[in-house]
Amino acid sequence: MTATGPLTVGVLGGGTMGSGIAIVVARAGHNTILRDIDADRVGAGLDKVGAFLDRSTKLGKLPAHRAEAARRNLTGTTTLDDLAECDVVIEAIFEDTDLKARTFAELSGICKPDTLFHTNTSTLSVTAIAAGATHPERVVGTHYCNPAPLMKLVEVVKGRQTGDDAYQRTVEFLRSVGKVWVTTKDSPGFIVNRFLIPFENNCIRALADGLGTVESIDRAVTKGLLYPMGPFTLLDIVGLDIHRAVSLSLFDQLRDRRFAPPPLVDQMIAAGHLGRKAGQGFYRYDDRRAFGA
């Protein structure tokens, strides 16, 4: 793999993260193959990419010819065999260690002897995923932030077995797609979630303890710490169910009570108050107040 010419890159998973990463890679000029398990999912993923590129052009962020080039760089498939020529395969599939490891193991028999295997896991151990792959030294964590096409940051995670060569080539690849990377140990939550989750749980506890209201705590954080968004506004966007799952996963791995979702989270989930997507979370939403409108 050279740092210059276009690469062939496989992206596994046509969901929010997979399609977002496919945009990043295709927009940077690499040949991009989006793979999911059935034609409907592949189609949905490609549609998301197309819609994003259209919107970028309409907003004047991406010239039409570059959007067109990105579209030409992108194909879809349901077959892992179509990833044989890939220099890099980035998985953004379901958060399941065995599934990710088995997929990489299968790809090891299909891809080239120097193909890099990138996992976009946010909560699992890169070392554990690599352990089940045939070539753990070529498995590297690359954790993109949502929305991937807009957020500059990628956390590069070295598993215990990650080779220096694979790490260096990963960094070159991220440079080629215009990302800013930071390097972290393979520690639960890496950097961003490692510090965000306990902070949010602390905010939820402060609310439950009556130290403030939803509005006053959001106000204190945005006006006092100058964060772009208050914790409850952010939690409503993320979704309480997702927050609970991430918190529990980190709690299970770290056995540190600060990561445990407070009881209020369970109550809100039981009541169906999952956040923006449910019309109610810490705040109540109607269509006119939909995010980004």
Partner 1 sequence: MTDFDRVGIIGCGTMGSGIAQVCAAAGCQVTVLEVDDAAGTAGLERIGAFTAGGVSRGKLTEADRDALLSRVSASTDVAALADCDLVIETVVEDAGVKHTVLAAAAGVVRPGTVITTNTSAVAVTELAASVRDPARFAGLHFFNPVPVVELVEVVRGLRTADDVVTSLIAFAERLGKAPVEVKDRPGFLVNRLLIPYLNDVIQAYDDGLASADDLDVALELGLGYPTGPLALLDIIGLDTHEQASRNAYAGTADPQFAPPPLLRRMVAAGKLGRKSGEGFRVHAEDGTR
Q: Known catalytic residues?
A: 122, 143, 155, 193
Question: Do residues 119 and 89 lie in contact, with contact meaning Cβ atoms separated by under 8 Å?
Answer: no
Q: Is 154 helix (H, G, I), strand (E, B) or coil?
A: strand
Residue 180 makes contact with partner 1 by CB under 8 A = yes
Q: For residues 183 and 190, what is the distance between their CA atoms, to the nearest angstrom?
A: 9
Q: Closest distance between partner 1 and the C-beta of residue 75, in Å?
A: 31
Q: Whose Cβ is closer to partner 1: residue 2's or residue 202's?
A: 202
* Residues near partner 1 (CB under 8 A), total: 38
Return the residue of 81, 210, 287, 293 that touches partner 1, per CB under 8 A: 210
Q: Closest distance between partner 1 and the C-beta of residue 258, in Å?
A: 6
Residue 245 makes contact with partner 1 by CB under 8 A = no
Residue 228 makes contact with partner 1 by CB under 8 A = yes
Q: For residues 10 and 191, what is the distance between their CA atoms, to the nearest angstrom?
A: 26
Termini Cα distance of the chain: 43
Tokens of residue 290, six digits: 């939909």
Give the distance from CA 94 to its chain's centroid: 11
Residue 291 makes contact with partner 1 by CB under 8 A = no
Q: Whose Cβ is closer to partner 1: residue 195's or residue 291's?
A: 195
CA–CA distances in Å: residue 192 to residues 45, 103, 159, 188, 278: 26, 26, 17, 10, 26
Q: Within a 10 A sphere around the Cβ of 165, how many other Cβ atoms?
A: 12
Q: Closest distance between partner 1 and the C-beta of residue 201, in Å?
A: 10
Question: Do residues 121 and 143 lie in contact, with contact meaning Cβ atoms separated by under 8 Å?
Answer: yes
Q: Closest distance between partner 1 and the C-beta of residue 96, in Å?
A: 24
252-271 residues in contact with partner 1 (CB under 8 A) are 258
Q: Closest distance between partner 1 and the C-beta of residue 252, in Å?
A: 19
Helices marked H in 140-191 — which ranges? 164-176
Tokens of residue 232, six digits: 């409850």
Q: For residues 102 and 106, what is the distance between their CA atoms, to the nearest angstrom?
A: 6
Q: Is 275 helix (H, G, I), strand (E, B) or coil?
A: strand
107-146 residues in contact with partner 1 (CB under 8 A) are 145
Q: Whose Cβ is closer to partner 1: residue 196's or residue 248's?
A: 196
Residue 168 makes contact with partner 1 by CB under 8 A = no
Return the residue of 44, 105, 220, 245 that touches partner 1, per CB under 8 A: 220
**Stretch of residues binding partner 1 (CB under 8 A), selected from 81-89, 96-104, 160-168, 221-229:** 221-229
E-assigned strands of the chain? 8-12, 31-35, 74-77, 88-91, 116-119, 139-144, 153-158, 180-185
Return the residue of 2, 79, 168, 216 that touches partner 1, per CB under 8 A: 216
Return the residue of 133, 171, 221, 240 that touches partner 1, per CB under 8 A: 221
Residue 153 makes contact with partner 1 by CB under 8 A = yes
Q: Is 248 helix (H, G, I), strand (E, B) or coil?
A: helix
Q: Which residues bind partner 1 (CB under 8 A)?
A: 145, 151-153, 155, 180, 182-185, 187, 190-192, 194-196, 198-199, 202-203, 206, 210-212, 216-217, 219-221, 223-229, 258
